């Protein structure tokens, strides 16, 4: 039996081959704080949160994502429009804070993008930008990725199963 072919004019299903690296740093009242999320094509998720608050130790978590989660992450990134963005008109990274996102889909054949800007505090920062539409896409993609990762980590490390 042959595998089903996609309908003419529709795109094939995403493969799930995705590399994502998101990092944000901020210098504030408690020193330098940073958050890093990295997803490799093999499904390894690395999360690192480092803060100077009360001389806390960095929080590091590593988990392996299922192929279904990788396919969903691939779909989220491919459909978001982030692969067509350019950070040329965005506020440059500053000494106060930086946000960076690197995405590679399908080993580079599906696209590669590397974006950097200063830390975005709220949508007001986005509206004030010269490329508000592009920065808005970046802002929402980052929020979607963070929500997905935090939900997965919360479920994985839940002490009392439901």
Mean pLDDT, the chain cut into blocks of 10 residues (162 residues total): 45 70 87 91 93 78 93 94 92 89 88 92 86 92 94 82 61
Query: First-to-last CA distance in the chain?
Result: 40
Fold of the domain built from segment(s) 18-156? Mago nashi protein (3.30.1560)
Q: What is the structure's pLDDT at 75?
A: 94
Instruction: Determine the pLDDT at residue 12.
Output: 47
DSSP class of residue 80? H
Per-residue model confidence (pLDDT) at position 59? 87
Say which DSSP state 65 is in.
-
Sort 60 into a burial class: Cβ within 10 Å, 0-12 / 13-18 / 19+: exposed
What pLDDT sits at residue 112?
Answer: 93
Whole-prediction pTM:
0.83
For position 42, what pLDDT does the model report?
93
C-alpha closest to that of 47 among 77, 65, 39, 57: 39
Question: What are the extents of the domains in the chain?
Answer: 18-156
- For strand 59-64 and strand 44-50, is the pairing parallel, antiparallel, or unpaired? antiparallel
Encoding tokens for residue 146? 């963070």
Question: Secondary structure of the chain: what % helix, strand, coil (to 5)?
Answer: 35, 30, 35
pLDDT of residue 21: 96
């Amino acid at each position: 039996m042959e595998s089903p072919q996609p309908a003419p004019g529709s795109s094939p299903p995403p493969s799930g081959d995705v590399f994502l690296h998101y990092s944000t740093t901020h210098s504030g009242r408690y020193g330098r704080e940073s958050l890093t999320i990295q997803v490799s094509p093999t499904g390894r998720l690395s999360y690192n949160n480092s803060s100077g608050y009360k001389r806390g130790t960095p929080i590091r978590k590593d988990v392996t994502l299922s192929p279904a989660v990788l396919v969903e992450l691939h779909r989220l990134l491919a459909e978001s429009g982030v692969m067509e963005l350019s950070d040329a008109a965005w506020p440059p990274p500053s000494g106060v804070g930086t946000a960076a996102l690197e995405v590679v889909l399908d080993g580079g054949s599906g696209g590669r993008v590397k974006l950097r800007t200063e830390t975005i505090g709220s949508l007001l920062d986005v509206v004030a930008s010269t490329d508000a539409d592009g920065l808005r896409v970046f802002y929402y993609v980052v929020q979607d990725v963070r929500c997905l990762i935090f939900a997965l980590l919360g479920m994985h490390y839940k002490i009392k199963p439901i």
